[in-house]
Amino acid sequence: MQRRDFFKKAITVAGSAAIGSTTLEAKEAAETVHPVDNQKVSEIAFPQKRPLITYSDRPPLLETPREVFTTALTPNDLFFVRWHLPIIPTYINLRKFSVTVEGAVKNEIKISLHTLKTEFKAVEVTAVLQCGGNNRTAFKPTTSGIQWGVGAMGCARWKGVRLKDVLQKAGLEEGASWVGFNGEEKAVYNETADFIREVKIDEIHDDIILAYEMNGEALPYLNGYPLRLIIPGVYSDSWIKMLSHITVTKERQKLHFMDHAYRIPDNACECETPDNLAAETKPIEKMNVNSLIGYPQSGIKIKQSAELIVRGIAFDGGHGIKTVQISTDNGATWNDATLDDGSQGPYAYRAFSYTLKPQSSGTLNILCKASNKKGEIQPFAKDIKWNHGGYKYNGIDEVTVEVVS
Ligand SMILES: Nc1nc2c(c(=O)[nH]1)N[C@H]1C(S)=C(S)[C@@H](COP(=O)(O)O)O[C@H]1N2
Ligand SMILES: [Mo]
């Protein structure tokens, strides 16, 4: 891609993301970005990150390259990044930083990071953080939003305190039903909605935590330092980063990012067509079953005489992975891959491997398909149902390599 072109694209995406996902801007982004030539690792690294696939630098939109997905944990410095608003504080004073719990609570409280770490029980959970728009480029026709490839996801071990314990400290008022979460970043224009997401109080469980550590280190700045919400099993749009305000309400608030974004058709197939959009929508919420081949990557050459170890990861919304299967005959027959021991728990990636010996030289397609303990199976890419936001893509993954004798 020409340098000039690249900047033009970067600016268009940045502009649209900065202003928020009004239909017009989102549409503009979809029309201007060409997914294929965007799938390149940048030469520039952001703080605490190695170079990543870069869609915008303001706000930062960084994708993890496919080859990283061969292990159950994703390194912090390769973990993808997504922000909606561009003015992200570059300095957090930990002496002053606190998370405020306000609204329909008995006592409004401000809790410092130090208090969270010393006066609340520390808990840990390993969980996949996946954007609802991960692999959006696979939808045909193109849908609006960031044109992510396969790497708008990652899996980390999160450490922090239970949301439940923090809410209990403030004490809920009678009738309290929703909790809203807001981070420290700001929009360019006052008119732009804050990125606030809400969770239903009766859906809060012990694994929903306010995390201050990721894979044994303080959260990286771009992944929400110093504190973020972790909701295992659901898409990451509500995993608010740089969390500073928790607002309890009795009624649902009217919020742009709850009412207009991150919603899918509220019908049995969760699908629609561009000419006939669904009248009713619902939040995307629980993740469906999914898997990805991290190695080999499409385009590489494999020696026919050598064994090839296919590696990748599989996950779902917490029911647990049952099988990962590999096909080398375009889905006619399937063989079980070997899964890791699953000791990271039901919300984590399961790393898999499968050893194959190419039968002949020429083009070889390798497909991988996961199923979960609830009986859900990934569909073939051609059977994926379309939705206008390009959410929840989970088509069977495929890479194509060249076998040489
Ligand atoms: N404060 C804040 N938190 C946020 C967002 C945001 O824009 N601001 N985006 C959400 C979305 S849509 C995603 S996909 C994840 C991305 O998390 P990551 O940047 O750590 O990968 O953060 C979520 N939390
Ligand atoms: Mo997202």
- Domain contains 89: no
- The alpha carbon of 81 and the centre of ligand 2 are apart by a number of angstroms equal to 9
Q: How far apart are CA 328 and CA 367, in angstroms?
A: 6
Residues 358 and 237 in one domain: no
Ligand nearest to the CA of 197: 1
pLDDT, mean over the chain: 91
pLDDT reading at 4 higher than 50 = no
Which pLDDT does position 272 carry in this prediction? Answer: 97
- Residue 78 in contact with ligand 1 by CB distance below 6 A: no
Residues 229 and 103 in one domain: yes
> Which position has the higher pLDDT, 12 or 57?
57
pLDDT reading at 10 higher than 70 = no
Query: Which atom of ligand 1 sits closest to the CA of residue 223?
Result: 20
- Domain contains 140: yes
Ligand nearest to the CA of 240: 1
Q: Name which of 28-42, 123-137, 378-392 the model is least confident about.
A: 28-42
pLDDT reading at 155 higher than 90 = yes
Residues 277 and 295 in one domain: no
Nearest to 250 by CA among 315, 140, 174: 174
- The alpha carbon of 332 and the centre of ligand 1 are apart by a number of angstroms equal to 39
- The alpha carbon of 173 and the centre of ligand 2 are apart by a number of angstroms equal to 31
Q: Name which of 12-16, 159-163, 202-206 the model is least confident about.
A: 12-16
Residues 310 and 385 in one domain: yes
Query: Which atom of ligand 1 sits closest to the CA of residue 184?
Result: 1
- Residue 185 in contact with ligand 1 by CB distance below 6 A: yes
Which pLDDT does position 38 carry in this prediction? Answer: 58
- The alpha carbon of 396 and the centre of ligand 1 are apart by a number of angstroms equal to 26
Mutate to test the pocket of ligand 1, among 129, 241, 257, 262 (most ligand atoms within 8 A of CB): 241
Mutate to test the pocket of ligand 1, among 61, 81, 83 (most ligand atoms within 8 A of CB): 83
Which pLDDT does position 14 carry in this prediction? Answer: 35
Q: pLDDT class for 259, splitting at 50, 70, 90?
A: confident
- Residue 195 in contact with ligand 1 by CB distance below 6 A: yes
Which pLDDT does position 257 carry in this prediction? Answer: 83
Which pLDDT does position 130 carry in this prediction? Answer: 98
Q: pLDDT class for 12, splitting at 50, 70, 90?
A: very low
Which pLDDT does position 360 carry in this prediction? Answer: 93
Question: What CATH number should be reported for the domain holding residue 328?
Answer: 2.60.40.650
Which pLDDT does position 24 carry in this prediction? Answer: 42
Which pLDDT does position 258 carry in this prediction? Answer: 80
Intra-chain end-to-end CA distance of the chain, in Å? 33
Neighbours of 26 (CB within 10 A): 22
Domain enclosing residue 385, as ranges:
290-404
pLDDT reading at 20 higher than 50 = no
Q: Name which of 39-43, 45-49, 123-127, 175-179 the model is least confident about.
A: 39-43
Nearest to 204 by CA among 226, 234, 225: 234
pLDDT reading at 29 higher than 50 = no
- The alpha carbon of 131 and the centre of ligand 2 are apart by a number of angstroms equal to 4
Residues 197 and 336 in one domain: no
Ligand nearest to the CA of 63: 1
Count of structural domains, the chain: 3
Ligand nearest to the CA of 20: 1
Mutate to test the pocket of ligand 1, among 46, 57, 62, 82 (most ligand atoms within 8 A of CB): 82
pLDDT tens, position by position, 311-369: 999 999 999 999 999 999 999 999 999 999 999 999 999 999 999 999 899 999 999 99
pTM summary value = 0.91
pLDDT reading at 398 higher than 60 = yes
Q: pLDDT class for 190, splitting at 50, 70, 90?
A: confident
Residues 317 and 269 in one domain: no
Question: What CATH number should be reported for the domain holding residue 279?
Answer: 3.90.420.10
pLDDT tens, position by position, 118-132: 999 999 999 999 999
Give me the sign of the Cα torsion angle 272, 277, 279, 285: positive
Residues 108 and 239 in one domain: yes
- Domain contains 152: yes
Residues 31 and 122 in one domain: no
Residues 274 and 151 in one domain: yes
- Domain contains 113: yes
Output b/e per residue, 264-292; b: 16+ Cβ within 10 A: bbeeeebebeeeeebeebebbbebbbbbb
Residues 126 and 41 in one domain: no
Residues 130 and 160 in one domain: yes
pLDDT reading at 19 higher than 80 = no
Nearest to 132 by CA among 249, 288, 28: 288
